[in-house]
Amino acid sequence: MADDGLLFVCVGCCCGRNGHGGALAPAGRLKSAARRAFDAAGLSGRVRMAFTECLGPCSESNVVFLYLRGRAVWLRRVNTPDLFGEVLRYADEATRNRECALSPRLRAHSFSWTGGGIGPKPPVPDGTSS
């Protein structure tokens, strides 16, 4: 099966670090938890996940960038395992169904940045939805 997308998880200067808006955990624990969730989601072979240094919009940490079938999706404040799981479920559905829309919860976390996206440009005030 061909790769249908890329998932970039920022672990740069602010993301994954307490005190910088990224409330998850130190980068090592964040990576381990994300890898376990990714493996459990069964996306291997369809989506490649990579951890990256700063993706740019530090005001929006924790940032996740999805590029699925030519579509850019930027997500902000992915601060809980549950929300990261929803990102993975969306990636799963989007690689199976070309007409997949973001859930209302993910849409509230989406923003526009380099390469496109859905929603406002950073900085995005909390409570803003697209």
The β-bridge partners of 52 are: 10
Q: Using CA atoms, how far apart are residues 102 and 15, in angstroms rounded to an integer?
A: 22
The answer to whether residues 84 and 20 touch, using CB atoms and an 8 Å cutoff, is no
Q: Which helix (H) or strand (E) holds 95?
A: helix 81-96
Give 128's pLDDT tier (boundaries 50, 70, 90).
Answer: low
The token pair at 4 is: 């249908």
Q: Which helix (H) or strand (E) holds 8?
A: strand 5-10
The residue extents of the domains of the chain are 5-117
**pTM recorded for the entire structure:** 0.87
Q: 5-117 has which CATH code?
A: 3.40.30.10
- 3-state class of 59 per DSSP? helix
Q: Is the pLDDT of residue 23 over 80?
A: no
List pLDDT tens digits, range 45-99: 999 999 998 898 888 888 999 999 888 999 998 888 899 999 999 999 999 887 7
The token pair at 24 is: 């998850």
